[in-house]
Amino acid sequence: MRTILLGAGTMDARLLDKFRAIVGERGLISSDEGLHTYECDGLTNFRVMPLAVLLPSDTEQVQAIVRICHRERIPFVARGSGTGLSGGALPVRNGIVISLARMNRILEVDLPNARVVVEPGVINLNVTGRVQPQEYFYAPDPSSQSVCSIGGNVAENSGGAHCLKYGFTTTHVLGLEVVMPDGSLIHLGGKTLDTPGYDLAGVFVGSEGTLGIATKVILRIVKRPECIRTLLAAFPSTNEAGAAVSDIIAAGMLPAAIEMMDNLAIQAAEAAVQANYPDCGGLLLVELDGPVAEVQFLMEHVGDLCRKNGAWEIRVAQTDSERALVWKGRKAAFAAMGRISPNYIVQDGVIPRTALPQVMSEIARMSQETGLRVANVFHAGDGNLHPLVLYDRQIPGQEQAAESLSYRILELCIAAGGSITGEHGVGEEKKMMMSKMFSEPDLDTMQRVRCAFDPLQLSNPTKVFPRPRLCGEKPGEYLPHPLESAGIAERF
């Protein structure tokens, strides 16, 4: 991945004063040192310096900032904790960053209705922390849940290991207060279900900050099940583990989570957190939850199916601490790559579960061909792959080779009928892959929604779509520019 570092422009002093008047001295960052913190998100290979970073502390301040942006045509990028892995919170050139980190209050906990209302800067795990004493939890659990924010989760429609059973962020967001790209305030959805009108809350979640800024989020929480059991099974390879997954699904079970790791990923996790995983070719982690009688009965069945498919070691974690240890290795898997490789790319593709053996053997073949190691961590239940392409930036050409390999893996996912992203988002990183997954009319139709929300394209522009649609323009036949026809220029 080539590092793109764009120098900061300068912001008109008069405008800076206006922003300062809204958020105060402490809410404005405009020095070079201060701005460097915000030049990228979790995808560090792309960097752009923003003109300024603003940290509003309430909805009115967000509105006031966005109104100025609208009037002055300044693009803005909303940012939560900056843990995103696709460059969704990457600043845009000559734009500002609006950090929601200070808007981190839990506004309302309504246990009888299982709703919690939060500001966007609230950390994911803090929602669960707040309702845990009453044995509720907030289900979406991205691996970064101890640091990532609800606002960022809303933007990315974050998933996590347990979305196999519990669904994604979008399943758990019932309503939103949104500052529109012109600074006006609207409410989408609500505390009750099926509010009359289009499901614009459903469209907003996962729109990667391109439709406006969420300033309040109504979440649904879930009662903790009576019992949770996690089984760990060691297989000779990911193929046998994959066959066991298919059998579990075919048997009519819907586990809370099914995770898989290959040998390289196990080695890295062991080196990093000593999760005491068996050294095997394919490790499966199956979590069942629900009433005790049900879980005990089904867990035996899962064990049988694993043994039938060649599992040579099976352990069932009974206590919370045993479970925590089993999960620790899995949740640390990305960061653990640092133990076995100087650099790595985290990829996020999805395939129909049945395509797993074929896609795995193709990844292995491509790994051999390029000489680059690929570690594999999957949400196996829903076919979400996280191949980690390992490389060394110091070796000339290896970064480009790794980047190219990671994109080729995504092409494999598309060819298998899958997706280029299951939970990390398109952002800056994968917008060019969108044209490989969707046709031009498909993308154009999505952008009609963007035109309705943000006709001036100020809210996180240049993300998600390979090229913008001019709002108001009549969609017609695509006419190539004369230079393109002449082979002099290409569109990217």
CB 92 within 8 A of CB 48: yes
The count of other CB atoms within 10 Å of the CB of residue 86 is 27
Q: How far apart are CA 228 and CA 401, in angstroms?
A: 43
- Would you say 205 or 234 has its CB closer to another protein? 205
Comparing CB distances to another protein, the nearer of 292 and 489 is 292
Kindly tell me which of 23 and 90 has the beta carbon lying closer to another protein.
90
CA-to-CA dists, residue 263 to 234, 266, 459, angstroms: 10, 5, 42
CB 281 within 8 A of CB 238: yes
Residue 126 Cβ vs another protein, minimum distance, rounded to whole Å: 22
Q: Are 393 and 399 in contact (CB under 8 A)?
A: yes
C-beta closer to another protein: residue 275 or 434: 434
Half-sphere exposure of 444 (CA within 13 A, CB side): 11
Give the separation between CA 244 and CA 303, rounded to whole angstroms: 10
**267 vs 419, which CB is nearer to another protein?**
419
For another protein, the closer CB: 193 or 488: 193
d(Cα 415, Cα 419) in Å, to the nearest integer?
Answer: 9
- Cβ proximity to another protein, 70 vs 379, nearer residue: 379
Contact assessment for residue 88 and residue 42, using Cβ atoms and an 8 Å cutoff: no
Which of 224, 315 has the CB closer to another protein? 224
CA atoms within a 13 Å half-sphere pointing along the CA-CB vector of 331: 16
13 or 193: whose CB is closer to another protein?
193
Helix axes 263-273, 320-331, angle to 10 degrees: 120
Phi, psi at 76, each rounded to 5°: -135, 150
To another protein, the closest distance from the beta carbon of 232 in angstroms equals 23
Shortest Å, Cβ 9 to another protein: 30
Q: Which CB sits closer to another protein, 101 or 471?
A: 471
Three-state secondary structure call for residue 181: coil
Smallest gap from residue 305 Cβ to another protein (A): 14
C-alpha 175/C-alpha 189 separation (Å) is: 4
Residue 311 identity (one-letter amino acid): A
**Number of C-beta neighbours around residue 467 at 10 A:** 15
d(CA 90, CA 385): 24
Sorted by sequence, the CB contacts under 8 Å of residue 240 that are 6+ apart come out as: 282, 309, 310, 311
What DSSP state is assigned to residue 172?
A: H
Question: For residues 433 and 407, is the Cβ–Cβ distance under 8 A?
Answer: yes
CB of 489 vs another protein, minimal distance in Å? 26
**Residue 19 Cβ vs another protein, minimum distance, rounded to whole Å:** 26
Shortest separation between residue 201's beta carbon and another protein, angstroms: 8
Q: How far is the CB of 416 from another protein (least distance, A)?
A: 9
Minimum gap (Å) between residue 423 Cβ and another protein? 6
CB of residue 363 to another protein, shortest distance in Å: 17
